[in-house]
Amino acid sequence: MKVRKVKEEVVRVSVNDFAKELDLKVVSKGRGEIVLSSISVSRPGLQLTGYFVHFDSGRVQVIGNAENEYLKGMTTEKRYQALENLISRAIPCLIVARGLEIFPEVVELCEKHDCPLFSSSKITTVLINDVTAYKSEVLAPTQIAHGVFVDVFGIGILITGKSGVGKSEIALDLVNRGHRLVADDSVIIKNINDKLIGKSPVNIRYFMEIRGIGIINVQQMFGPGAISPSKTIDIIAELSPWEHGKGYERIGNEDVYEEILGEKVLKLNIPVTPGRNIPIVLETAARQFRLKQAGYDAASDLINSVFGTNE
């Protein structure tokens, strides 16, 4: 399977995109972008008291009700100094939660130090969870693979193989049988919390190329139920023309895995011949995967039946 690694240690996101993804109100654009390098989010309670030992300036800072009440109890001069000690440290951005009224000093200092400032109506805990989840995806190790990704009975199958082997046509047949397309031709793979998540690049999402017909839009043609924005990659199905004399798996008692971004994924090598119904083969593979997850292995059952001790 051809893959291209595109992992970045630091990701830059525009202020408007960051606000849109997290449903935030932009109060001040600051430097115009958010520089993300850590998935962690901080509430700067200790920092507002002047304690900056082990302070990570790469974390998004969130002011909640507790921090807001602490700032309220300060004089204007002390509040200004406490906030400048925090905002002057080139933090990615500052978010004020719960729809709290923002102190004029906060706006002034964010503009002075080019720090993006946002307001959110969400409670602090929910906001922090949302920001952490967003950053986990944005900063996740990433690869781009050539293939077609489909959701078959809730199992994510990444169909790979050389150009012309029929990947898109097989996926189209699966969609016609009630399954879902995630991506065609190019699949973005991210390792998020030790799970491989695949999705399509935004600009080609839900489009598919069918040789002899051209480009089709699967969502428009088959409806919203025929597409899925993302899915966990459970199986890699590599298609290749049948080769006479090549040994293919007959029993299925020895699983083969391929490693992607440090995670092992079950790999099936499926020979393609004229007249062979590959969509049914992939449906069977998905059902077989489900059964193994539930603890049943047909190959082991057969071997035990033939060679086991009959009582």
pLDDT tens-place values along the chain, 311 residues long: 666 655 557 899 999 999 999 999 999 999 999 999 999 999 999 999 999 999 999 999 999 999 999 999 999 999 999 999 999 999 999 999 999 999 999 999 999 999 999 999 999 999 999 999 999 999 999 999 999 999 999 999 999 999 889 999 999 999 999 999 999 999 999 999 899 999 999 999 999 999 889 999 999 999 999 999 999 999 999 999 887 767 666 666 678 999 999 999 999 999 998 888 999 999 999 999 999 999 998 888 888 888 775 54
Whether the Cβ atoms of residue 2 and residue 146 lie closer than 8 Å to each other: yes
HSE value, Cβ hemisphere, 13 Å, CA-based, for 177: 16
Rounded CA Rg of the chain? 26
Report which of 213, 157, 205 is spatially closest to residue 185, judged by C-alpha positions.
205
The predicted-structure confidence for 265-305, as pLDDT tens digits, reads as follows: 999 999 998 888 999 999 999 999 999 999 998 888 888 88
Phi-psi region of 245 (alpha: psi -120 to 50; beta: other; left: phi over 0): left
Integer CA distances (angstroms), 81 to 21, 48, 87, 92, in order? 32, 9, 10, 19
HSE value, Cβ hemisphere, 13 Å, CA-based, for 262: 10
- What are the residues whose beta carbons fall under 8 Å from the beta carbon of 212, sequence distance 6 or more? none
Tokens of 280: 């049914």
283 CA to centre of own chain: 24
Assign a CATH topology to domain 10-138: 3.40.1390
Query: What is the predicted pLDDT for the residue at 184?
Result: 95
DSSP string, the chain: --EEE---SSEEEEHHHHHHHHT-EEEE-TTSEEEE--S-EE--HHHHTT--TT--TTSEEEE-HHHHHHHHTS-HHHHHHHHHHHHTT--S-EEE-TTPPPPHHHHHHHHHTT--EEE--S-HHHHHHHHHHHHHHHTS-EEEEEEEEEEETTEEEEEEESTTSSHHHHHHHHHHTT-EEEEEEEEEEEEETTEEEEE--GGGTTEEEETTTEEEEHHHHH-GGGB-SEEE--EEEEEEE--TT----SS--S-EEEEETTEEEEEEEEEE-TT--HHHHHHHHHHHHHHHHTT--HHHHHHHHHHSPP-
Query: What is d(CA 229, CA 91) in angstroms, rounded to the nearest whole number?
Result: 32
Residues of the chain with CATH 3.40.50.300: 142-303
Active site residues: 146, 167, 185, 250
Residues of the chain with CATH 3.40.1390.20: 10-138
Query: What is the predicted pLDDT for the residue at 140?
Result: 92
Q: Which CATH superfamily is domain 142-303 in?
A: P-loop containing nucleotide triphosphate hydrolases (3.40.50.300)
